[in-house]
Structures are given as structure tokens and as C-alpha cells.
Amino acid sequence: MMSFTEFDATGIELERISCDLCGGNETTLEFEAKDIRYGLPGSFNVVRCRKCHLVFTNPRPLKRASNAYYPDDYRPHIGGKREYENWFGAVYRRMAFSRKANLFSRMLGDVYNHLAYRQFVSKEVDPALVLDVGCGTGDYLGVWRELGWNVQGLEMDDSAAGIAKKKLGFCVGVGRLAEATLPAAGFDLVAMSHVLEHMHSPSLALRKIAHVLKPGGRILITVPNYASWDRHVFGPRWQGLEVPRHLYHFEPQSLSVMLESEGFAIEQMGSSAHPGSLIRSIRGLCKKGRPSGRISSVERCLGWFVQLVPALLMCGTSLWVVARLRSGREPLGENGKSAGKTT
């Protein structure tokens, strides 16, 4: 990926990059956006590649400057309940993913998965090992363990990783995926929940994941859906943008193409509701309350209600995909060095 450095009016060190998917340099401006969620300084262009249509933030803060955009109260780094961590989610999780689940339970689980931000894949071997990249404080590691998986995490924020290790005793490495030392062909599944959009080169990240997956292993990705109905309604004030923490803004097409070009075959793709994002978008639009403030149960219920149908129509707030590493692909070195890309 080619890049060069510049500064914006507030002195933030920026890099202008070429498209991570096709290498193109010609883009069209979607809009200019700010960090609405935390109100951090700067204004960032969201652009679309003219050639492959990948949407990304460009220019963007340099890697060494990007930590400034993860404030101390950045939610994934301080823990707390996720959308599914309530009695409803817990009940259906048990029903849907139990090996002994009956058809009715699995149907209910399927409905729940599609509507309620739950996308997991079944184990094919036992014991099976999952790597949660960007595991934060370990919420998802707990879910995977509950489902019978052996778990390992990777987290770039050392305090969040510390919570995951100390609180729940998880095996969590600290650092970025690109630099992490991981065993080749060591994992049955790699999960990344709302992580890929933060990475400086998603294509390189996928290449590294292909390297650490066992043959036929799978990847589970969740990202904000740039093609969602609420993104179209709220535009630059859509909470899913989260510039400049989100460097890429995926749509079903661009995510599929990137996965396939890195050796994965799509097995399932869908969209899901994300009531928190909707409520924060509305707050931002109305300038009522701090968008990142607590969301009440009433607000959350309303958010679910409004988002159920769009989620079924592939225009829900989040996009999820399960993809399998294709067999017979050429083995790549760690960090994809054999392909000649640089971070």
C-alpha cells in the first residue's frame, strides 16, 4: 500500500493511502465526517475507490498517532455487557448452539442469530480452538468458552487485555495482528467482531489469518454495514462511521471481494440489528445527550423494533460473514510477505 504523510489544520499527522483492495488511487468523496461519538478533533474524508468501490477513510491518522483516537472510556477497552449479554441472549445461545438442540430450538436460534446480533459457527472437531482478534476485555472469549471452544485472544490495548486475563483467566496476547507471533495452521476459527474496519490493511490482516487457520478453517467477521438503511439516513452522522477509528467502511460486495481475493469462500452472509448504534445516531442528530452515554432498556427495545425488518433485508446496521479458507491455495508466509505487500 502506498502512502505519504501530511498534516491537517489541527496538526494531526495524516497519511494518504491507495486502495487496500485494488491499489487504485482515484476516489470520489462520499462526505466529510467527524468523531461524533467522542467529539475528538479533526475532520476526515470518507472516500470511495472508483475502480473497486471500496469505501475508506482517506487521509487518515498515522498508525503511531491513532492511539489518540481511543479515549480512556472507549467502551470495548473498559468492558461491559454486549448486546447479547442478557437473559434473552443467554437462553437462546444455549438453545441454538447446544449439540443436542432440537429443530425447534435451532430454528429459534437461527431467528435470534439473524435478528439479534448473534453469529456463531458450529464446532467441526473437538477440541476446537478459536482465536478472537481484538478480543477487548474478553466478553466474546467468555461466550466461546461457554460454547465449548478452547479460546485464545489477541488485543492491542494492554489494559483491556489485562482485564481479560485477570478477570477470566484467558490466554490473551497483546499487540497488533500484523506483528503477533501466532502458530501457522493453528486455529479452527478466527473471529473478529467489529475489528477489521479498524485495521490499517484489512487485506493483509486476512492474509495473516489465512496463514494461522488450519486447512478448511473458518473466519467469522462482523463489521458496520455501510450499505445499511441508517447509514443512508444519517450520512456523516451515522454512528457506524466512527472516523477516524474506523479506517474502512465495508459493504456486502467489497467485503466479499476482499475475502475471496485472500483465499476465502463465503459460506454465509447477513446483516443484523444494532440498536445501540441507531440510538446514538439519533442522539447525534438531535444533539440530545452524549452519543456515547448509557442506552436505556426502553431505547434498546425501540432500536430492536425499528431494525428487525432492515436486518432481514441485508440493510441492517451490522454485516456479518462466515467464510472458509479454500483448500489447495498457495501457502503464504506470515504477514503475507510472499505477496510483496507492506504494512
Q: What residues line the site for Zn ion (CB under 5 A)? A: 19, 21-22, 24, 49, 51-52, 54
- For Zn ion, the closer of residues 27 and 239 by Cβ is 27
And the C-alpha cell for 174?
A: 497483546
And the C-alpha cell for 317?
A: 446496521
Shortest CB 191 distance to Zn ion, Å: 26
- For Zn ion, the closer of residues 243 and 258 by Cβ is 258
DSSP E strand stretches across the chain: 3-7, 13-17, 27-33, 44-49, 55-57, 60-61, 129-133, 150-155, 172-174, 187-193, 213-224, 248-249, 264-272, 318-325
Shortest CB 54 distance to Zn ion, Å: 5
What is the b/e burial string over 293-319, where b = at least 16 CB atoms within 10 angstroms of the residue's CB?
A: eebeeebbeebbebbbebbbeebbbbb
Shortest CB 24 distance to Zn ion, Å: 4
And the C-alpha cell for 185?
A: 495452521
Q: Residue 306 and residue 184: Cα distance in Å, rounded? A: 43
And the C-alpha cell for 231?
A: 447509514
- For Zn ion, the closer of residues 21 and 282 by Cβ is 21
Spatial strand order of the sheet with 248-249 comes to 27-33, 44-49, 55-57, 248-249
Angle at 140 between CA 247 and CA 317, to 5 degrees: 45
- For Zn ion, the closer of residues 49 and 282 by Cβ is 49
Spatial strand order of the sheet with 318-325 comes to 172-174, 150-155, 129-133, 187-193, 213-224, 318-325, 264-272
Shortest CB 157 distance to Zn ion, Å: 30
Shortest CB 55 distance to Zn ion, Å: 10
- For Zn ion, the closer of residues 159 and 253 by Cβ is 253
Shortest CB 17 distance to Zn ion, Å: 11
- For Zn ion, the closer of residues 56 and 112 by Cβ is 56
Angle at 324 between CA 326 and CA 81, to 5 degrees: 155
Shortest CB 249 distance to Zn ion, Å: 13
- For Zn ion, the closer of residues 21 and 206 by Cβ is 21
